[in-house]
Chains A and B, each alone.
Chain A
Amino acid sequence: MTEPQPPRSDRSPWNWLLVVPIVVPLLTFLFNHDEPRIGGFPLFYWLQFAFILLGVTTTTIVYQMTKRSRS
């Protein structure tokens, strides 16, 4: 472990955050309901649209946190 150039890796605890947008959209019991509606949209639809936002947020966070520092 005393090598001058440590081997590169893309391991990061932040990557675990990406499990959230992979698992949550597949849990049908969370969103398989009609009520409450928002703007006429049943929960089934607006919540799944919200999951898109969840995906964007988590990938953005992980990207920012795991960016390689460029010299």
Chain B
Amino acid sequence: MSDHVVEIAVFTFLFLLVSVMGFVAAKWRAPKDMAHLDEWGLGGRSFGGWVTWFLVGGDLYTAYTFVAVPALIFGAGAAGFFAVPYTVVIYPLFFLILIRLWSVSHRHGFVTPADFVRSRFESPTLALVIAITGIVATMPYIALQLVGIEAVLKTMGVTGESTIARHAPIIVAFAILAAYTYQSGLRAPALIAFVKDTLIYIVIIVAVLWLPYKLGGWGAIFDAADAKFQASPAPNDGIILNANNQVQYFTLALGSALALFLYPHSITGVLASRNRDVIKRNMSALPAYSLLLGLIALLGYMAIAAGVKPLPGNKPGSVDSNTVVPLLFDQQFPSWFTGVAFAAIGIGALVPAAIMSIAAANLFTRNIYKEYLRKDATPAQEANVAKITSLVVKVGAVACIVFLDPQFSIDLQLIGGVIILQTAPAVVIGLYTRWLHRGALIAGWAAGMSLGFWMLWQIPNAATGRLHFGGSAFPLSEFGFDTQKTIYVGFVAVLVNALVAVLVTVALRAAKTPEGTDGTAPDDYFADEGDPRVKPVDVV
């Protein structure tokens, strides 16, 4: 631990700095009345271009991404680069689809995607299903942010013998995070995102200029990676794809893009912006982060070229590949700059963790508490329940990491991506048409969920010797095709989901099952800043 004093000092200093910012954020663009979900949970729906850019960027590109994507490249090569097409494809989708969700939410004061579904299909049950799916998918995502911080702490030698000692720094970090999120709501991560992203940009620009220079140039880095994969016995690694993993590559990129924008935290970031223009302009500016992510991914190859050996994992004989990037920095940079880089990853975990917990809290408050527990809740009561829920969610995430094998959270996150995709027919298709029947959407969701679970259960992982939940690449031979090709589970599940929804809709129509009335009007999908709200927000 003594070798890392400078790193730890820089890390701690920057961490404390953003903690202060988190508390001060409550006063930033201070509203007249914070006791309203629009203020606490959506920052007053007032964020302009820059704030939205940092907030959504800080939200989508999490610490876990920064640690896990290069780890994947380090281990498997080209297959891990799916993160780049994934984050290219997502913005045109946002541009075309999510803009409508912003408009209709602005008009009706919706806070969550489930609010929209409830009003569109007049179905609290469907909204409940969407809300629970969102909460369940988000929880492990929050826990994974802790895995990102842990990789950094481990590299700095901050470990202990007992479970509690090993996790003490994370518990403290999350307690501080919970406190300022409670107080400042979405304003806290919005303000901290400025620091986080500035640090990350500095670190990565330095890394991609300095490290290739030290390691003999980009050509040498790719050749070193190529040599490693040539020598390894694994069939699907390499610096380009092979005949068998190309379908997996593009279905994973497309499926992940669809999943990412259905995650409650992305939607929260988008709904917090001021008008349609802010969102549209951001869709051209946000790909700057994709460039960053692509460069970060390549750190995995730099780690190969630099001969980094990942630290041992929790189980004897395993390795924790998430430590490769922290180790690369530790090995190649002066210790003060390593401290800055580690702080960037650590703070990078806090921003999305805060937004995710707020998004989960919004879902619980709007679609479970107000719907089922207390129908006459005032806005102040709603805000209060959301604040408390955000605390509970964070305690749950910490408990997942401290008491369960982190692998469990990684499995859950894998499942999370697949299940959140199952809300696509209701939310995405629902934004365009309400042709699909509410009952059929529930049936489709159930079919997609079951199939998704079954497929994930069937996938073994040869590298870790696990029989189930070994990844998201499903061998098509399991469906009876004579091929070695694999496909992304979520992609198949959501197709089946949509198909079931269509068939059941036809059946329910034939049986003349009531469809409910549409609470939205066609013009609501184009509403913009300045248009009157259907239900005026009662700001005291």
Contact = CB atoms under 8 A, between A and B. Distances in A.
Interface stretch (B146-154, B279-287, B476-484): B279-287
Given A19-B92, A25-B89, A40-B218, 18 more contacts: A15-B96, A18-B96, A28-B246, A28-B250, A32-B241, A32-B246, A37-B219, A39-B218, A40-B217, A42-B222, A42-B240, A48-B81, A48-B85, A48-B88, A51-B85, A55-B287, A59-B283, A63-B283
B526 interface: yes
Interface of A: 7-10, 15, 18-19, 21-22, 25-29, 32-34, 37, 39-42, 44-45, 48-49, 51-52, 54-56, 58-60, 62-63, 67-68
Given A7-B522, A52-B291, A56-B284, A21 B218 contact: no
B99 A10 contact: yes
B240 A26 contact: no
Which label, helix, strand, loop or mixed, suits the secondary structure of the B interface? Answer: helix
Size category of the B interface is: 35 or more
Contacts of A8: 523, 526
B81 A45 contact: yes
A71 B399 CA distance: 55
B523 A55 contact: no
A44 B239 contact: yes
A10 B280 CA distance: 12
B93 interface: yes
B218 A48 contact: no
Nearest to B289: A52
A26 B283 CA distance: 19
Interface of B: 78, 81, 84-85, 88-89, 91-93, 95-96, 99-100, 212, 217-222, 239-241, 246, 249-250, 253-254, 277, 280-281, 283-284, 287, 290-291, 294, 298, 522-523, 525-526, 528
21 contacts: A7-B523, A8-B523, A10-B100, A10-B526, A18-B95, A21-B92, A22-B92, A25-B253, A26-B250, A26-B254, A28-B241, A44-B239, A45-B222, A48-B88, A51-B85, A55-B89, A55-B92, A55-B287, A56-B284, A59-B92, A68-B528
Contacts of B100: 10
Contacts of A42: 222, 239-240
Contacts of B277: 67
A18 B78 CA distance: 26
Nearest to B77: A44
A59 B283 CA distance: 7
Minimum-distance CB pairs A-B, first 10 = A40-B218, A40-B219, A25-B85, A18-B92, A26-B250, A8-B526, A28-B246, A60-B284, A59-B284, A55-B88
Contact of B294 (A15, A39, A52, A58): A52
Given A40-B217, A45-B298, A21 B526 contact: no
A45 B528 CA distance: 39
A37 to B, nearest CB: 7
Nearest to B524: A8
